[in-house]
Amino acid sequence: MCIAWLNFRALAPAWTMWTADEIAHLCYEHYRISLTKKGKPEPNREWTLLAAVVKIQPTADQTYDSPDKPVQVTKEVVSMGTGTKCIGRSKMRKSGDILNDSHAEVIARRSFQRYLLHQLHLVAALKQDSIFVPGTQRGLWKLRPDLLFVFFSSHTPCGDASIIPMLAFEDQPCYPVSAEWASNISVEDSDKLEATKDKRKCEDLDSRVTKKMRLEPETPAGEVANGVAHHKSFGNQESGPVTPNVSSSTLDSEELAAITEMAPVGAKVVDVYRTGAKCVPGEAGDSGKPGAAYHQVGLLRVKPGRGDRTCSMSCSDKLARWNILGCQGALLMHFLEEPIYLSAVVIGKCPYSQEAMQRALIGRCQNVSALPKGFGVQEVKIQQSDLLFEQSRSAVQAKRADSPGRLVPCGAAISWSAVPEQPLDVTANGFPQGTTKKGITCLQTRSRISKVELFRSFQKLLSSISKDKWPDSLRKPGAHSGSRHLDPGSETHQIITGLNEKRNFAKNLLVFSSPSCQTTFFLYAG
C-alpha cells in the first residue's frame, strides 16, 4: 500500500488530478446542498464570500504502473466557511470565546482545524481509520501520503493579493490578467488631476457619487456592458477599487514597476483594484496617489473596521503564514511529525492576477528564515476558476438590477466541518447567532471554532489518550521534541498541568509553532 502511495505521488502531481472548475463546482454544490438556510444572505439584498478545504485522494484498487494512465481521485469538502466581517480591537476578549476574524478564509481554516482534531481522535484514541498514520517518533502522527488538500476561495483574498492592475480594455467584471509580462507598458498621462477632498467618496461604494453613477439613466447600456461604469459598482471587501474621479496620474517609473509588470503586453494600466486592508504600524504605507500608484504592494496589512480598528491580519497575510507554518496550529503540532500544508489554492471568478497571488502568498515570503526543521515556504499551486459564486457581490448585483435599497454584506458567518457532532456553526459579531449581551458569558454562547472551544477539543483529545502514548513535548515538561521546545511554566506546560477556563486561552492559541518562527506575521491576533 505504501508503495502505491509513493507511486501515486510520483505519477500524479496535485494539479493534474483535478481542474479549478471542478473544485469550485464541488464547493458551490456543497454550499447549496449541505448548508442550511440559516446564516446565508438574504436574497437580492445581501452577499457573502465562500471558502473551503477540499480533500483529494485516489480511489481504491488502482495501480500506478504507467505515467500515461489517468489517476482517478475522489474529492471531498472537509471544511467550509462564509463571512465578510471582523470585530474591532475594543471588542476582543482575553477569554478566547469570541471570533475576532470571521472572513470566509479564516472560518474555513478554523473549521479545518476542527476536522483535523476529530481525525486525530479517531486514530489516536479510537484506533479507527483516519487521514493520519503513525510517524517515526513516539506519539507523533503524519498525514497519509496519498492525501492532498486544496484551499478554495470564491474571491481573491483581501490585502496584498487584491492589489492588481485595472486595464483600459477590460470589458467584464472578472477579466483574467494574462501571465504575459509587459516589456514597455505605459500608464495614461494626464495633467487634469482633480485634487479633491471628496476622493474618499469616489472610493466608497455607497457614496452619493457612486450611487448617482449606478442609477444615472443617461449612462449608455453599452458603456456598462463594456466595463466603463463597472469598476465603480465593485468595491469594499469583494474587489477593492472603485475608479477614482480622475482619468489617470503621472507616476515615476519606480512607483509603477510593481504594477505594470503584471499587465498584458500593450495594455494600459489606468488604476489598480484597491483593498480596504490598512498597512500595519511600522510599514511604509500607501502613497494614496490617484491611479495606479495608490497602493504599495508586498506590505503586511490589517483588515479595516468601521471606526474601531481591527487587529486581524489580512487574508493574504494569513494565507502566506499558513503556507509557511501549515494550517494545523500550535496545539495540533504537538501531535504531528510535520506541518499540514495546502497543495493548491483555487480562486473563483473575480478580479484576479496570477502574479499578485504569487507575490502575496509566496514571493514576498522568500526571505523568511530561522524556521524549525520541517517548516518552509511552500510552492503552492495557484489557479483560478471561471465559475462565479452565486451569492457573491457581483452575482447578486447583476440579479437585482435596479432593485431599491442597498446591497450589503451578510452579517452572519457559517462554519461547517466534516465531523459527526454538530458540524454546523452560525455566528454573528463573533458569537453564535442570536446571542444576547446577557448570554455572552454562558458556555452555550461560544462558537465551536473559537479559541477556547478548539482548546477544549484539544483537552478532550489528550484525556482520551494514555499518558504513556503522549508525544514527548507533552509528557515531559521542558523536554525537546524535534523542533518543539517546551519550558517549565510555559503556556503549553500550563495546559498540561490543568489550565482552567479562567486563564488566558487566547495567548495559548496565538503561538502558531515555536518562538523561533515568530516574525512580523504573528504580531496581531485574529
CA distance linking residue 486 with residue 483, whole number of Å? 10
Tell me the DSSP string of 104-118: HHHHHHHHHHHHHHH
The β-bridge partners of 428 are 412, 431
Report residue 428: phi and psi, to 5°.
-150, 135
CA distance linking residue 216 with residue 379, whole number of Å? 47
* Cβ proximity of 4 and 62 under 8 Å: yes
CA distance linking residue 369 with residue 341, whole number of Å? 18
**Which contiguous run of DSSP H or E holds residue 27?**
helix 20-34
Q: What letter represents residue 148's amino acid?
A: L
Q: Does the annotation mark 216 as catalytic? A: no
Sequence-distant (≥ 6) Cβ neighbours of residue 359 within 8 angstroms: 160, 161, 297, 298
Determine the distance from the C-alpha atom of residue 524 to the mean position of all C-alpha atoms in its chain, rounded to a whole number: 16
Burial 353-374 (b: 16+ CB within 10 A, else e): bbbbbbbbbbbbbeebeebbee
Angle at CA 437, nearest 5°, toward 431 and 443?
55
Catalytic residue, from 105, 170, 337, 453: name it. Answer: 105
**Strand-pair category, 176-177 with 352-353:** parallel
Question: What sections of 42-159 are H helices per DSSP?
Answer: 104-124
* Reduced 3-state DSSP string for 368-420: CCCCCCCCCCCCCEEEECCCCCCCCHHHHHHHHCCCCCCCEECCEEEEEECCC
**Which contiguous run of DSSP H or E holds residue 80?**
strand 73-82
Residues that are catalytic: 105
